[in-house]
Structure 1
Amino acid sequence: MERSTRQRTAIRNLIEQAGRPLSPPEILEGARDAVPGIGLATVYRNIKSLLEAGLIQAVTLPGDGVRYEATTHHHHHHFQCLGCQRVFDVHACPGDLGRLAPPGFEVQGHELTLYGQCPDCRAAAQGRGAAG
């Protein structure tokens, strides 16, 4: 990996501490707290460097842009809020999904994404319902 810079350190720390996959705009917004003048091109350049170094990994959800999370996570799944579009880690797994495969097939991995509303969006929706 290239030398450590203030920008790269801020981005890496943000991703490691987020506890959920972050999109490049979310990374930019969070990194600006530590490095006010950081731009989106710098974020992408550092994401590429951190990916190459194996310090972060890409999370790709169907119909959505790529997000990034720390590589320190063990096998897990994701929940995407349909309101705010944020993605959260789900540290549970339904287990042996091989039983769902057609006879004679061997499952070698799986990804599971749950969709719904996060607590913030649920509360906002309930607040709008009570006001209207």
Structure 2
Amino acid sequence: MPSSAPLKSAKSFRRNTQQRRHIRDVFERNDRPLAADEVLQLAQQKVAGLGIATVYRAIKALTGEGWLVSVEVPGEPPRYEVRGKVHHHHFHCLKCRRMFELEGCLEQLGKMIPPSFRVVDHVVLIYGLCSSCARVSKVPSTPGNRKAGKS
């Protein structure tokens, strides 16, 4: 039996709601890769009652539009950042779990590649403590951090 509800046009699914505008603003103001829970916390300062489902829907839509790109961290939920930035890498704080952008690239990286290899792309992710967390003397242990706790 056909539904009596009116069909929504494709355009109605691409609404630019107040929530989506504030979520876009969060990415533009913070200018670093953000996890969905960080986006929620920052956007709730402007939009009371905003929920995580709305944040995920907005991130999915903004990624689908090509405005956001995913930044993957092994073993962590993805972060998202605005597409179209100049080539850069990322720093992941082991204490607060935030990610930061690092401008530029390692000059010596190309010299590590054997001459017969052809590089198509690369990703560099550096782990450590951000300036706010560096005040703590103990470095959290990670699988790749073999010297954790040693002086």
Length-normalised TM-score, structure 1: 0.88
SS at match of 1:14: helix
* Alignment pair present for 1:39 and 2:67: no
Structure 1 unmatched runs, 5+:
127-132
Higher normalized helix content (fraction of residues): 1
Which position in structure 1 is the counterpart of 2:70?
58
For the residues of structure 1 that align with 2:107 and 2:69, how far apart are their CA atoms? 23
For the residues of structure 2 that align with 1:31 and 1:71, how far apart are their CA atoms? 20
Larger Rg: 2
Residue identity (%)? 42
Which position in structure 2 is the counterpart of 1:94?
106
For the residues of structure 1 that align with 2:85 and 2:45, how far apart are their CA atoms? 25
For the residues of structure 2 that align with 1:29 and 1:76, how far apart are their CA atoms? 26
Which amino acid in 2 is paired with 1:40? I
Which amino acid in 1 is paired with 2:118? E
CA RMSD of aligned residues (A): 1.5
Structure 2 unmatched runs, 5+:
1-12, 138-151
Choose between structure 1 and 2 for higher RCO, CA contacts under 8 A separated by at least 6 residues.
1
Q: CA deviation at 1:17?
A: 1.4
* Alignment pair present for 1:106 and 2:113: no
Q: CA deviation at 1:96?
A: 6.0
The 1:111/1:93 distance shift into structure 2, 3 A limit, reads same
Which position in structure 2 is the counterpart of 1:30?
42
SS at match of 1:69: strand
SS at match of 2:134: helix
Query: Structure 1 segments of 4 or more deviating over 3 A?
Result: none
Stretch deviating more after TM superposition (79-88 or 55-64): 55-64
